[in-house]
Amino acid sequence: MNDLAVYPFSVVVLPAIIAAVVACAVAVGPLRRRAAAVDGVIAFALMLAFVLSFTRELDWNAILRQCMTVAGDDAPFEKWHRIGLAAIVLALLAPIISALGARFVSTSRNGVTLGATVLAAALSAKFVVFPGSNGWWQIEQGLLVVAAMTAIAACAERAVLWSAWITFAMFAALALLGGFASLAVMCAAVSTASFLIALLTTLGARRDASAIAIPSSGSIALVLGTLGAIIANCGRAYDQSGVPAWAWIAVAVLPAGSLLFGSTIKRAATVQRATMWRVCGVFVGALLLGAAVAIAMNVTTTTTS
């Protein structure tokens, strides 16, 4: 196989396929009727795609050296590698949070989700630090975790996985534009995994009339929102091409674009049509954001030249 094809398959497609295989356990079959299983396993699978892409692009030592000394490892310590450790933590916490939420009634379940969100925001603000960061940057990162999760939980609804597909594709595009190819392939892996899992869950819903909808709150929103906020700050910290800082933040809350066609969604005759319009809203939001970034970078280039 051509080397140009082997590389993207290894760091993008293969991690996404493995994540989709894991998610298949709850996307199709009897487990699709259990909300906690669906939420926890899909959230785990999405983070697994990122972790596998990270380790195939770099290696496991890049994560291990973030928390311990690795014998014989003389590679330099890089702050951005902590994003891989964060993805592992999110992957492990996702099923636990989903299981805890399932043990309580609706009000208490929302309390579990809120508590997990506050904890994720606080931990990311405290421990995930990138070059050039200051206290305000870290506070903003914590707030962005909350904003990103809220955008997913409150707006995406049944379009949560399709929304993640578009959102992380945009992150990949910004990272590539900013000269950060390694981060780009990891975001592309999550985007591809989201797309594949969305297809599987759609198939599962058609085969089983009692299949539950994919929850947009809970662990799925938590892991996507937290990872998205961290990626946004990582991308702008390591940007080499003048990608506007606001663009990274805007992508983190891009799922809010699902409300762009709000009136049409309310009039939709079926749930499927409403979901389609939500996806269209995120897609249009991505196009508008891409155009705004292109204009801003062109103006900056013209001004400096």
Question: Residue 286: its pLDDT value, please?
Answer: 97
Question: Residue 304: its pLDDT value, please?
Answer: 62
Question: Residue 154: its pLDDT value, please?
Answer: 76
Shortest CA distance to 156 belongs to which of 235, 257, 266? 257
Listed in sequence order, the residues at least 6 apart from 226 whose beta carbon sits closer than 8 Å to its beta carbon are 86, 90, 120, 121, 124, 145, 148, 149
Domain region containing 133: 3-304
Q: Of all helices (H) and strands (E), which one includes residue 302?
A: helix 271-304
- Tens digit of pLDDT for each residue in 191-201? 999 999 999 99
Question: Residue 156: its pLDDT value, please?
Answer: 66
pLDDT of 105 higher than 60: no
What's the average model confidence in pLDDT over 262-278? 89
pLDDT of 293 higher than 90: yes
| The two structure tokens encoding residue 97 | 């949070």
Residues of the chain above pLDDT 90, percent? 56
Question: Residue 102: its pLDDT value, please?
Answer: 74
Amino acid at residue number 281: G
pLDDT of 243 higher than 80: yes
Say if CB 204 and CB 32 are below 8 A apart.
yes
**Predicted confidence band of residue 75 (pLDDT cuts 50, 70, 90):** low
Average pLDDT, the chain: 88
For 62-78, the DSSP string reads: HHHTTTSPPTT--SPP-
Shortest CA distance to 194 belongs to which of 151, 230, 223? 223
pLDDT of 64 higher than 70: yes
Domain count for the chain: 1
Question: Residue 38: its pLDDT value, please?
Answer: 92
From residue 49, alpha-carbon distances to 6, 34, 76, 150, 221 in Å are 17, 23, 25, 23, 16
- Report the alpha-carbon distance of residue 53 to residue 250 in Å, rounded: 24
Measured distance between the N- and C-terminal CA atoms of the chain, rounded to whole angstroms: 43
- Report the alpha-carbon distance of residue 210 to residue 230 in Å, rounded: 36
